[in-house]
């Protein structure tokens, strides 16, 4: 799902809100989540999952074309861990789809 599709779905679900207001709310939420991760804070949304940063130490990589060694710097990357409720809902949906396909 893209950001614009999310905004469209939310605007349809709450027709009393203007699309611009929904767009602003979604943008603010994403901005606040980004700022929290940049401050090395953990984000936890109950029933959905948590976002955190994972540290990757520096290492020596290789250019696949030439085989030359490259020194890669340490970095942080965002990591999402789904919550138990989300995993169960996805699993239930997948198993019900598989049962329908077999029938």
Residue 82 parent element (H or E): strand 75-82
- Per-residue pLDDT at 39: 96
3-class DSSP assignment, residue 14: coil
pTM of the model: 0.75
User: Looking at the domain assignment, is residue 3 inside a domain?
Assistant: yes
Burial class (CB in 10 A: 0-12, 13-18, 19+), 52: middle
User: Looking at the domain assignment, is residue 84 inside a domain?
Assistant: no
User: Looking at the domain assignment, is residue 53 inside a domain?
Assistant: no
User: Looking at the domain assignment, is residue 91 inside a domain?
Assistant: no
Average pLDDT over residues 16-39: 96
Number of domains in the chain: 1
The CATH number given to whatever domain includes residue 1 is 4.10.520.10
Residue 24 is part of which domain span? 1-41
Residue 72 parent element (H or E): strand 69-72
**What's the pLDDT tens digit per position in 32-85?**
999 999 999 999 999 999 999 999 999 999 999 999 999 999 999 999 999 999
């Amino acid at each position: 799902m893209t950001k614009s599709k999310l905004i469209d779905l939310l605007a349809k679900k709450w027709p009393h809100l203007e699309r611009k207001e929904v767009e602003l709310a979604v943008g603010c939420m994403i901005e606040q989540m980004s700022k929290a991760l940049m401050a090395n804070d953990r984000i936890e949304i109950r029933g959905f999952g948590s976002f955190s940063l994972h540290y990757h130490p520096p290492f020596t990589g290789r250019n696949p074309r030439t085989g030359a060694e490259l020194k890669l710097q340490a970095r942080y990357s965002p990591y999402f861990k789904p919550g138990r409720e989300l995993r169960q809902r996805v699993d239930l949906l997948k198993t019900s789809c598989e049962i329908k396909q077999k029938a």
